[in-house]
Structure 1
Amino acid sequence: MLTKGDDYPIHQTPEPIAYAGSDRNFYDRYFFNAYSPDGTEFVAAAFGVYPALNVADAHVSIVKDGVQRCLHASKVLNMERMDLTVGPIRIEVLEPLQRLKVTVERAEGIACELTFEGRAFPIEEPRFVKRIGPRLFMDYTRLTQNCRVSGWVEMDGRRLDAAGWLGTRDRSWGIRPVGAPDPQPTPGAGVPGFFWQWTPVNFDDRSVFFHVNADPDGQPWNTRAVILPDGAGPEGGWEADGPSMDVTLRQGLRHAERGTLTIPLADGAATVDLEPVTTFLMRGIGYGGEWRHGGLKGELAVAREDIDLSAADMGAMENLHIQAISKAVLRAPGEPERQGVGVFEQLILGPYRPYGLG
């Protein structure tokens, strides 16, 4: 089947762009977040294409005054991967790897127009490859870019001016569980568990990126930290192997009360202290819940969901995956202390022995 993408020189296989290999879990996704300088106002968006499921979906979620307001949209893809619109939500690539735009035509009381402009060339994270026994669980690539944000967000007639906001965007593509879960367990897969932390942080003249995926015993299988000055190109920045995060968990929860990231550098270690101030539930943009990524909702479905964060059970399975908007303090050898803001994304499923979680 020929589609609009076939007129662009972007093929990766001998087949038309409509076909993305043989794995039903193949996906191609955009993610964005943006926040006010004090972290009290926050918006996130996600847009995903699932070629083998023939589904596309998009989500926008806004946190203000303790309420998370979510707009969900899903459609049948009809194998057209060049159409970056799902219902009222649209993505535009204004300048590849530099400027992108998220627009929501007013629906269910929510609208926005946000432009994300990269502070430096995106970083490419190490390829994520993980098997559960014999089954390929993950195999994907991701780029991440901290951004300056402009535009506005509107909810129920109240408009927030995003001038001076900062944020992060990423693009990832490959294989990851999407759509309806597989009901059949895999014999010999070992102890199930998933540990994930991700901390893109904005400072005045630089960005700090850290992520870690680890096994239940605490052994990382994918981790890296990067300090990237504004304006850096593809080869810019300081990259460090062996970063570590020291965390104090909230009482009775799997979310951090605070954390300290240590980044080894040639002239000594840099540290970033993180203090969460606002919680964002990732299910608001399709990470689990009724509107999980790749779920089939019919030809077109659009719905709003409001979540009272003060009443949400943060220990419930659907609320384990969060981004904590956090104040940050960077201390680097021979440099003045820097204040910043970013997110501390967290997901701990199953046991994690370094934290005493069974």
Structure 2
Amino acid sequence: MLNRLDDFPIHQTVEPIAHPATTDRNAYDRFWFNGFSIDGEWMFGIAMGLYPHRGILDCAFSFVRKDGVQHSFFGSRRAPRERTDMQVGPFLLENTVPMRRTRIVLDDNESGLSCDLTFSTRTAAIEEARQTLWSGPRKIMDTTRFDLFGRWSGTIRTPEGEIHVDPDTCFGVKDRSWGVRKVGEPDTGGAPNPYGGTTFLWAPLFWDDHISQAIIYDSGDGMALHRDVLVAPLYAGEYDGPEVEDGQVRRLATCRHRLKWHPGTRLASAMEVDLVDHDGSARTITMDPILRFQMRGIGYGHPEWGHALWKGELALGHETIDHAKLDMLQMPNFHTQQLVRVSDGTQTGIGVFEQVHLGPYAPGGMTAMTDGAK
């Protein structure tokens, strides 16, 4: 099963590129983006995922204003054989300059959302440490990921009107990951494996001349499963350095975190993260939320438009949610990103704090699958 990429010297196995090295049905390859206005008035998210063993390509675009009304477009199709075909109905992703610029086009559709946006990086590519999680003897996640911090330009049209996206005032992150993770319909059969709970926290932050990033996985009892802390230069204009990496990314030793929750929910009301260097010194960052984005809007945990769910040869959908009316103890609403103002005591910045607590989490007093913090 050949495609155009087989004409490049990039093979890692004796199989054609369309044949993943793993036969795990949860193999995936995903683009993910966010973007936000630095005045805190609006935020958007974009996702596109290919699931080669499930035969699905899906995508989503979601936009929220400060008033908490979030609009979403969803699309799904049978995965094309040609890996460079990244279109689902009215949605198109163009990797115009790999590692530099990406264009997202969403033509008019029933959701009332459309866009023509270009992401341009202001950092070199930042490779995160490999992320592997286990459930008993089985790997349930084994991924490689890289990030680009940058800016957006273009136009977004919403049911409330059109927005001009200015690259001087709209920042965002591009996240590429691939490997194996839990997607689609759950596996069935066999002895049940007790679930002990998982927490994921992510804090990609923009400062005046650099970025910082903390990636955290905890078990249900609060034990550290994964820590990755990075800092890298943020270039003043569009990145014009080496083609992929600039050699300036610095990986710190570890990080610590402290959260306060909105009572009875799994949503943080305030956050602190200590970035700990190899000499033991720590930089404490405080985060103050100003806007919330529900990750269900781009498929994460969505009961109908979740990632890798077979919807037919081509299916399109849309949803509008009012954050004020959501039950935050319903599992599809656990996964959030919050736009945050940040400070380390000497300088200020802006960025995103992502969180999801699945199952028990002792540091928050959560003891069941869907109870709130105590």
Fold similarity call, TM over 0.5: yes
After superposition, give the CA deviation of every residue in 1:274-302 in whole Å (9 maximum; x if it has no partner): 11111111111011221011111111111
Find the counterpart in structure 1 of residue 64 from structure 2: 63
Find the counterpart in structure 2 of residue 160 from structure 1: 163
Q: 2:123 aligned to 101, 120, 124, which one? A: 120
Structure 1 counterpart of 2:320, which letter?
D
Q: Comparing 106-115 with 54-63, which one deviates more in the overlay?
A: 106-115
Structure 1 counterpart of 2:85, which letter?
D
Residue 36 of structure 1: CA displacement? 0.4
Q: Distance in 1 between matches of 2:11 and 2:255?
A: 37
Q: How does 1:1-358 map to 2 (within 5 A)?
A: 1-20=1-20, 21-64=22-65, 65-108=67-110, 109-156=112-159, 158-163=161-166, 164-184=169-189, 186-187=191-192, 189-231=193-235, 233-265=245-277, 266=279, 268-289=281-302, 290-331=304-345, 337-358=346-367
State the TM-score, normalizing by the size of structure 1. Answer: 0.94
Determine helix, strand or coil for the equivalent of 2:54. Answer: coil
Residue 79 of structure 1: CA displacement? 2.7
Determine helix, strand or coil for the equivalent of 1:211. Answer: strand
Q: Distance in 2 between matches of 1:278 and 1:223?
A: 26
Q: Distance in 2 between matches of 1:11 and 1:23?
A: 19
Residue 185 of structure 1: CA displacement? 6.0
Structure 2 counterpart of 1:168, which letter?
V
Tell me the number of residue pairs that the alignment of Structure 1 and Structure 2 aligns.
352
Residue 86 of structure 1: CA displacement? 1.1
Structure 2 counterpart of 1:43, which letter?
F
Residue 186 of structure 1: CA displacement? 4.8
After superposition, give the CA deviation of every residue in 1:116-137 in whole Å (9 maximum; x if it has no partner): 1112112111111111012220
Q: Does the aligned pair in 2 maintain the 1:132–1:186 contact within 8 Å?
A: no
Q: Distance in 1 between matches of 2:82 and 2:313?
A: 14
Structure 1 counterpart of 2:296, which letter?
R
Divergent runs of 4+, >4 A: none
Q: Does the aligned pair in 2 maintain the 1:248–1:258 contact within 8 Å?
A: yes
Q: Distance in 2 between matches of 1:234 and 1:86?
A: 34
Q: Does the aligned pair in 1 maintain the 2:284–2:344 contact within 8 Å?
A: yes
Structure 2 counterpart of 1:202, which letter?
F
Find the counterpart in structure 2 of residue 334 from structure 1: none
Residue 170 of structure 1: CA displacement? 0.3
Residue 205 of structure 1: CA displacement? 1.6
Determine helix, strand or coil for the equivalent of 2:254. Answer: coil
Find the counterpart in structure 1 of residue 372 from structure 2: none
Q: Does the aligned pair in 2 maintain the 1:133–1:190 contact within 8 Å?
A: no
Task: Give the gaps of 5 or more residues in structure 1.
Answer: 332-336
- In structure 2, the CA distance between the partners of 1:213 and 1:305, relative to structure 1 (3 Å rule), is same
Determine helix, strand or coil for the equivalent of 2:107. Answer: strand
Residue 80 of structure 1: CA displacement? 2.5
Q: Distance in 2 between matches of 1:126 and 1:186?
A: 32
State the TM-score, normalizing by the size of structure 2. Answer: 0.90
Q: Distance in 1 between matches of 2:119 and 2:298?
A: 18
Q: Distance in 1 between matches of 2:126 and 2:257?
A: 20
After superposition, give the CA deviation of every residue in 1:321-341 in whole Å (9 maximum; x if it has no partner): 11111111133xxxxx22222
- In structure 2, the CA distance between the partners of 1:40 and 1:186, relative to structure 1 (3 Å rule), is farther
Identity %, equivalent residues: 37
Q: Distance in 2 between matches of 1:181 and 1:220?
A: 26
